[in-house]
Structure 1
Amino acid sequence: MAGKEGVFSLAGKLDRLFRATDRPEPSYMAVAEAIRAAQGVPISHTYIWQLRTGRRDNPTVQHLTALATYFGVPVAFFLDDETTARVDGQLELLRTLRDAGVTEMALRAADVSPDGRAAISELIRQVWESEHPRDTG
């Protein structure tokens, strides 16, 4: 795993967003075109590539906001390491859920009675708590 520095650099943050999707990674061209079309922010695919690879590392707030909006994260993801860590944890959870086939479980649970869903939810909570004991200090 990359060290903290790589994860919390602008390039590392942007890379995590590109890789977080459950679909194939979007192309730089597709991201730039979507940002221009939906948000009216002029940005090039080359510039996005430069940011992701670390060749450029001082984007405008407008570009950061546009990228955050495109990827569905708060702009603070790029600016605040605490927010980055929180969102990164959520992205990792989504990736784990996807890899574990949770989507299939959720689809099956849709046909379960409300009482059955409550029982499933309680089991998941118990497993999670057993794997994440609370700090007592």
Structure 2
Amino acid sequence: MATFAERLTEALAARGVSHRKAARDITAAGFRISHGYIGQLARGYADNPNLDVLTALANYLGTTVGWLVGDQEPTGREPVAARVTGAGGQEPDEAEVRQQMEDLGVHHLAERTVGLSELSLSAIAQIIEAARIAEGLDRQGSQTPDDQG
């Protein structure tokens, strides 16, 4: 089984980013991390990152914490937009989009926001945008509930 350092190195190479670039991107997304620390993790000199570090790295690298720490096989995760497609690669119709969103658990996530304050909804929107930036995704649909009024 591959070590955390080996998996981190593999994921960075697969994404084609250096320790410095990864640190810049992750920090820009709202989680402060240094390129030196990423380098120590990748070389195995630091081997006990906390859950926040693991989560930030996994989100940025398009994988899961479980895969990084060796608890699961690769997920082959890809951006949601790439997974929502219609038959034959055509633009999906509304029913297809609804079904695919259901399959991805989007409805459950939306249901969990019912009753939250505007402040909490705004915080969730900021977290989502930070995750999208960390994963190198576009900023389509980045309006918060406050922007839609």
Q: TM-score, normalised by structure 2?
A: 0.48
State the 4+ residue runs in structure 1 displaced beyond 4 angstroms: none
Q: If each structure's helix is expressed as a fraction of its own residues, which one has the higher value?
A: 1
Q: Give the C-alpha shift of residue 16 in structure 1.
A: 1.3
When the two chains are superposed, the root-mean-square deviation of aligned CA atoms in Å is 2.2
| Residue 26, structure 1, aligned to residue 39, structure 2 | no
Task: Indicate the structure whose relative CO is greater, using CA pairs within 8 Å and at least 6 residues apart.
Answer: 2
Report the residue type matching 2:61 in the other structure: F
In 2, Cα distance between the equivalents of 1:41 and 1:65?
Answer: 10
Is the 2:5–2:44 contact (alpha carbons within 8 Å) kept by the matching residues of 1?
A: yes
In 1, Cα distance between the equivalents of 2:38 and 2:74?
Answer: 23
Gapped regions of structure 1 (runs ≥ 5): 92-108, 111-137
Q: Give the C-alpha shift of residue 74 in structure 1.
A: 1.6
In 1, Cα distance between the equivalents of 2:13 and 2:36?
Answer: 18
Report the residue type matching 1:46 in the other structure: G
| Residue 78, structure 1, aligned to residue 68, structure 2 | yes
| Residue 15, structure 1, aligned to residue 9, structure 2 | yes
Larger gyration radius, structure 1 or structure 2: 1
Report the residue type matching 2:35 in the other structure: H
In 2, Cα distance between the equivalents of 1:80 and 1:16?
Answer: 12
Q: Paired residues, what number?
A: 80
Gapped regions of structure 2 (runs ≥ 5): 78-87, 90-149
Is the 2:5–2:43 contact (alpha carbons within 8 Å) kept by the matching residues of 1?
A: yes
| CA separation of 1:86 and 1:29: change in aligned 2, threshold 3 A | closer
In 2, Cα distance between the equivalents of 1:49 and 1:42?
Answer: 15
